Structure 1
Amino acid sequence: MSDSNTTAFTNPSTFILLGIPGLEASHVWIAIPFCIMYAIAVLGNFAILYVVKMDLSLHGPMYYFLCMVAITDLVVSSSIMPKTLSIFWFNFKEIDFNACLTQMFFIHGFLVMESGIFVAMALDRYVAICDPLRHSTILTNSVVTKISLAVVLRGSLLVLPYSLLARQWPYCKTNIILHTHCEHMAVVKLACADTHISSYYGLFVLLFVRGLDVFFITLSYTQILRAIFSLPTKDARIKTFGTCVSHLFAILVFYIPHLFSSLTHRYGTNVPLHFHVLIANMYLMMPSMLNPIIYGVRTKQIRSRLLWLIAHRGT
């Protein structure tokens, strides 16, 4: 594969993931914090799933959606980090063409799903605060199931064209991907064809879908804040707002790094490539690592149940 960057081909059997260009000598050390982040993400999200499963009092819409967030975080982090660590520690840079497209689908598809789940969680908080007496009749298990299926289908169908379009392009430039994983545009840039349709479609998903999600979340929280500030006492306002804090933190952790990564990628022409790749990895890993910490610390029911389980196992 030494001449893989100059050999002409149209249907590559493998791609080469370079890792973090310019920082190859530091890959071994960079892998250590990445490995720690991945371990926290896996343990934390499995802990959330276990606690919700074992505690019947947590079997409600908010915690069902929280479990979906945990699953999406596990899928996203597990889609990139094992391969990334194998590049850093063992220099296993090759990835099968079909495996690359599959990785691309899982990364981008589950990110869109997670964005949709945050909209569903905002809806849950809106109903719980603005119309609490009807919460159990509006968000029934049947409704939650339908919302969940819609979120999964939306993410799958919107991202499927990424892989389908990438599969049809001829690749006659190089099979070296300047990244740690098969990021959509990093793969498309290798094609020797007019790939504007892929670029425009990716921009559509980014601006329209994510933008619409942010709009609905903002709309929900505008109504929630109006309801909170209309409460008669300060204690009631603080207590009610406290039920939203975990969700708000999780939203900020998810969208802010993504916004920063997107702006850096599109407008940071003078930003070194290795910084782009590092930011992209941090954007994918930070929510997976921080979400279980946020919900574990800020959600009283989960925190108390986790502490009880730790104390119970220690006796």
Structure 2
Amino acid sequence: MHINWYPGHMKKTKELIQENLKLVDVVIELLDARIPMSSRNPQIDELVERKPRVVALNKSDLADPQITRKWVNYFAAQGINAVPVNSMTGEGLDKMIALVEEAAKEKMDALINKGMRKRAVRSMIVGIPNVGKSSIINRLTGKKSAKTGDKPGVTKGKQWVRLRGNIELLDTPGILWPKFENQQVGLKLAFTGAIKDEILDIETIALHLVAYLVREYTNQIKERYKLSEIFLDNLENLERIAKNRGCIFSGGRIDYSRAANLILDEFRSGKIGKITLEKPEDYISTIKA
């Protein structure tokens, strides 16, 4: 299946980032810890150019912790500091702030050496829709400075907010990209909710997710859905899940839509287990654990 989604406001966001980058000392790139590579907008490297950058791996509580550690090492090998964070509990955010201050130190010292007054570190947070930017801002400010929602596209415009410490942050709406070169990227974004469910074939998306979970997290899916065995036909696996969870119409017909939404909801909420959909080894073979 082919997934493409590039609403007009995302084009405006790209322009917004380009226009305001000169005001920023450090860029915070917010990624989904379950899909760190697929949730990276390939345009961001071009947009932020040589600005110092900190990667925050959000929703780390939902991701496989062993694989998250590998991703931290992956980014470190590229000279980028990465930190797992949880926007719901605030875990990891103090370290993220410390890394932002560290990344800006050279710039701040240079300003002081020129005789200028010390000012707040200016940062910009960028990321795809529904990755948790607004939740992190609210956690850092201790108040609802940014709108939040469980669907992509809630943040609409530009706003500066003061974070704890001496940091100001420019929030930007989520930005996807015009075309997914690899449709597997589109599927992973659909699995995690970065693309609106309303424009997707949910039943097909759920079937692809079941196929991945059966292959990579067999024990977790068997335990969650009380599967005594795994079938080679993933449609049969999905139907067995539907029957075990009561997703049945009168007369015994499978309610595929209800089963699909159940599986996606339980994956996204972590009820199936701590699951990561891609590994650094998929992109580089010599990464150290």
TM-score, normalising length from structure 1? 0.23
TM-score, normalising length from structure 2? 0.24
Does 1 or 2 have the higher relative contact order (CA < 8 Å, sep 6+)? 1
Higher helix fraction (1 or 2): 1
Higher strand fraction (1 or 2): 2
Structure showing greater radius of gyration is: 1
